């Protein structure tokens, strides 16, 4: 996904400039990879407020995580709450400390004798890998991400106050600033209305910050590309 950065910045910057020049004052809802960084690119070029730019983030990763858990425990996916946060990519973080089925911690529901570490690694690996598997087999992951975008747009249009794990702009949450990253966010008629800062276990917070560093590193590349385009 990160390999798409240069091409998409070159496409997005002039496109955003044209859209703004024609008086656009709506919401940017995007799935384009690398989605966290492209959300930042739109904010920087458009100068729109943070609530009007929403990347699909880890919404699809969360749905996949919940699906694999639902299949393991033989329950419907809508009865599972299991957020994935961080980069929409290899450094994403499955938040096991908040993973629940009917209010019960998922790890407490494991059968005796099941190794928690092995189980967690298996589910997290499937969650990360399935997107690549779909891409290899059909060349795109269009249906899953389209459903995520529909949910975001419906939440804005109908003021639903839905909480989704999308790319949101951080201003101090988790001790981070000036980047878009996947985190639970309330979405309503105001767009990305507010970030829900999860209370993370120490290892989860460490991995989340490692994920943020990857985003920030590539964000610097995006800044350089933006400058070169704007100064042509």
In the set 22, 88, 98, 213, the catalytic residue is 88
Rounded CA-CA distance 46/28 in Å is: 10
Asked about 88 being catalytic, the answer comes back as yes
Peptide bond into 68 cis (omega under 30): no
| Catalytic residue set | 88
């Amino acid at each position: 996904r990160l390999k798409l950065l240069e091409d998409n910045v070159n496409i997005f910057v002039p496109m955003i400039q044209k859209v703004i020049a024609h008086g656009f004052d709506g919401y940017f809802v995007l799935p384009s990879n690398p989605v966290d960084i492209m959300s930042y690119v739109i904010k920087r070029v458009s100068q729109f407020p943070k609530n009007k730019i929403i990347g699909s983030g880890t919404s699809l990763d969360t749905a996949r995580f919940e699906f694999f858990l639902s299949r393991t425990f033989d329950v419907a996916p809508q009865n599972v709450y299991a957020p994935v946060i961080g980069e929409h990519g290899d450094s994403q973080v499955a938040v096991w400390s908040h993973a629940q089925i009917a209010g019960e911690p998922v790890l407490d529901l494991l059968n005796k004798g099941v190794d928690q570490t092995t189980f967690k690694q298996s589910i997290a690996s499937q969650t990360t890998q399935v997107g690549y598997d779909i891409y290899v087999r059909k060349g795109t992951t269009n249906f899953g991400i389209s459903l995520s975008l529909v949910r975001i747009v419906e939440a804005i249009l109908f003021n639903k106050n839905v909480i989704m794990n999308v790319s949101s702009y951080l201003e101090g949450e988790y001790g981070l600033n000036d980047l878009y990253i996947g985190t639970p966010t309330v979405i309503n008629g105001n767009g990305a209305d507010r970030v829900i800062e999860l209370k993370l276990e120490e290892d989860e917070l460490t991995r989340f910050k490692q994920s943020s560093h990857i985003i920030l590193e590539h964000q610097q590349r995006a800044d350089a590309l933006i400058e070169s385009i704007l100064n042509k």
